[in-house]
Amino acid sequence: MSLRRTLAFRANLFFDVVLALIGVGAALTSVLVVFTQTNSLVGWSRAEAFVLIGTFQLLTGLKGTFIDPNLSWFPENAVRNGKLDTYLLQPAPSLFLASLAMSSPLALLQSWLGLAVVGVGISEYGHLPSLSGFLAWLVLLAVGLVITWTLGVLFACLAFWAPRLQLDVFYGSAWQLARYPVAIYRRPLRLLLTYVFPMALIATQPAGALLHGLRPMVMVGSVAGAAGSALLALICWRLGLRRYTGATS
Amino acid sequence: MIWLIRLTALRLRQEVLEWSGAWWFLLTLVVQAVLGPLIGLFVWSAIFPTNPYVTKYYVALMLVTLMTESFEQYTFAERIYDGTIGHELLRPQPVVVGVIGTNIAIRIWLTVMGAPVVVLAEIALQVPFSWSAVVLALPALVIAAALTFLWTLALSLSAFWTERVHAIVGFGSYVSTLLGGTIAPLAFLPEPWRAIGKVLPFYAMLGLPAEIATGRVHGVAIVTGNAYQLGWVAALTVLSISLWRLGVRRYTVVGG
């Protein structure tokens, strides 16, 4: 449905495609400018940085497609205007509907372009990733996606307690912190970004796994973290729903 | 002329009070404004760890960004889309009075909320600023604020012709961060882009006031810098006025 809506207006489609291209171009240009002045950014070479940016764009595209439309819609429409009732009345789990029902498929273009950038990075790097590294990358991407969804749900759930609070702008800004290797940040911020708001899992860890191979401790920790955070999201959603009173509930 | 200023001041007061209710949203805008220079600071001080200029430049840039942020694509273009600009068109005052009032009101709030963050960063990162350099940077800052407003306004006026004003303004703001000194200080850009950046208005909007405040641009260069800023103010004013006149002519909304 969302796809058909998007394809209905060709001029808008053209603009959105150009915007996706510019988004990826912007990320690449930033990396390119950095590497005109140095050969290594906290130990990452240019090829490795391309893989990082490509992975980041991949997840940004997925976030923009599946999570952002719902996160910006939720506090205003669902909670303040009571439209959450439409999801509560349907037989599917309300958390699933509220967080994933709407999508803007055009943002997927960013993901495809990100994949292409990862390809460019790998070819410049010289050696192909090992099978375990590739699988680790896929697993960590899935983990990153779950973490992204969880953070989106947690921010949206805040609307149950403080309906005027809309944190999609904040989430978008904080997301930009994942664009560079986490090692550039100083210690307290780096710890925050690895364990509390795991932005490191968005790009740095998956890219590291793809390039340098599997690290079991990281994998176990990440999967456990993702499972734990999904559980946290579910609990917060249930708690929030208990507070919600709409027209029919 | 005086009545225009008084009208703008009245509108400014109204908007400051209105925006005071959305202080939490303004905080997210402060985070958004500060994050670009902050990330730049981390990246470039990781590349040049012994160079204190980079840190100082980005702390100054944080304040410059806060004081020159413009959101005309939300405050103005959205009103063109939903037709409420009709209310402004019916008033016996130029529509731009309201737009300027809103813009300055948001900037005042962003500065009030963000200045402590900047001061904290200055103290934590140990980059003291000299008062003389900061005072010399003030005229450049004021002109930069006008310039950023005019640039965003000119781009937002494309709302008269297209539904995708957010994409256009987003692209404009990206170019501004690339060639204006947020992604990298202009001195670090590779050659053809550095020369292009020096000519285009984006450096006048962001990098120039920050570099004057750090003391890197001094003496006569400040005066030539201000002259170049004023030149761009004139150019963008002419552009904005022409786009407005062309746009209003073809605009139709219920009531007029």
Closest CA to A200 of A220, A218, A213, A215: A218
Q: Which of A12, A33, A164 sits opposite B164 (nearest CB)?
A: A12
Q: What is the structure's pLDDT at B147?
A: 94
Burial (CB count within 10 angstroms: exposed 0-12, middle 13-18, buried 19+), residue A87: middle
Q: What is the CA radius of gyration of chain B?
A: 19
Distance from CA of B157 to the nearest CA of A (A): 17
**Residue of chain A nearest B172, judged by CA positions:** A22
A14: closest chain B residue by CA? B164
Give the mean model confidence (pLDDT) for residues A38-64: 90
Q: Rounded mean pLDDT of chain A?
A: 84
Copy the structure tokens of residue A169.
């702008």
> Are the C-beta atoms of residues A163 and A225 closer than 8 Å to each other?
no
Closest CA to A237 of A157, A150, A168: A157
Q: Quick one: closest CA in B to A163, which residue?
A: B24
Domain count, chain B: 1
Q: What is the pLDDT of residue B203?
A: 92
Instruction: Tell me if B255 is assigned to some domain.
Output: no
Q: pLDDT tens across B144-178, in order?
A: 999 999 999 999 999 998 888 888 898 898 889 88
Higher pLDDT, A83 or A7: A83
* Residue A33 to residue A39: CA distance in whole angstroms: 11
Average pLDDT over every residue of A70-89 = 80
Kindly determine whether residue B24 and residue A165, on different chains, have CB atoms separated by under 8 Å: yes
Q: Do A15 and B29 touch (CB under 8 A)?
A: no
Residue B254, in any domain of the structure:
no
A8 to chain B, any CB pair closer than 8 A? The answer is no
Q: What phi, psi does A44 have (nearest 5°)?
A: -100, 125
In which band, very low, low, confident or very high, does the pLDDT at A248 lie, cut at 50, 70 and 90? low
DSSP run (H or E) holding A229: helix A216-243
A41 touching B, CB under 8 A?
yes
Q: Hey, is the C-beta of A217 within 8 angstroms of any chain B C-beta?
A: no
CB contact under 8 A, B31 and A184: no
Closest partner residue to A170 (CB to CB) among B31, B47, B183 is B31
Residues of B in contact with A42 (CB under 8 A): 46
Give yes or no for a contact between A53 and A26, defined as CB atoms under 8 angstroms apart: no
Q: Do B32 and A179 touch (CB under 8 A)?
A: no
Residue B249 structure tokens: 């002519």
Residue A202 has pLDDT above 80, yes or no: no
Residues from chain A contacting residue B159 (CB–CB below 8 Å) = none
Q: How far is B46 from chain A (nearest CA, A)?
A: 6
Give a yes or no: residue B157 inside a domain: yes
Q: Is B83 left (phi over 0), alpha (psi -120 to 50) or beta?
A: left
> A82 vs A51, which has greater pLDDT?
A51
pLDDT of residue A184: 87
Domain that holds residue B129: 2-249
Closest CA to B100 of B4, B210, B204: B4
> Which of A5, A31, A46, A173 is the best substitution to test chain B (most B C-beta atoms within 10 A)?
A173
Numbered residues of chain B with Cβ closer than 8 Å to any chain A Cβ: 22, 24-25, 28-29, 31-32, 35-36, 39, 42-43, 46-48, 162-164, 167, 170-171, 174, 178, 183-184, 188-190
pLDDT at A6: 62
DSSP secondary structure string for all residues of A96-145:
HHHHHS---GGGHHHHHHHHHHHHHHHHHH-SPPPHHHHHHHHHHHHHHH
Residue A1: its pLDDT value, please?
A: 67
Query: What's the pLDDT score for residue A109?
Result: 86
Low-confidence ranges of chain B (pLDDT < 50): none
A153 interface with B at CB cutoff 8 Å: no
Query: What's the Cα-to-Cα distance from A10 to each of A4, A6, A7, rounded to whole Å?
Result: 11, 9, 6
Q: What are the angstrom distances between the C-alpha of B62 and each of A105, A145, A175, B47, B211?
A: 34, 31, 18, 19, 12
Prediction ipTM score: 0.84
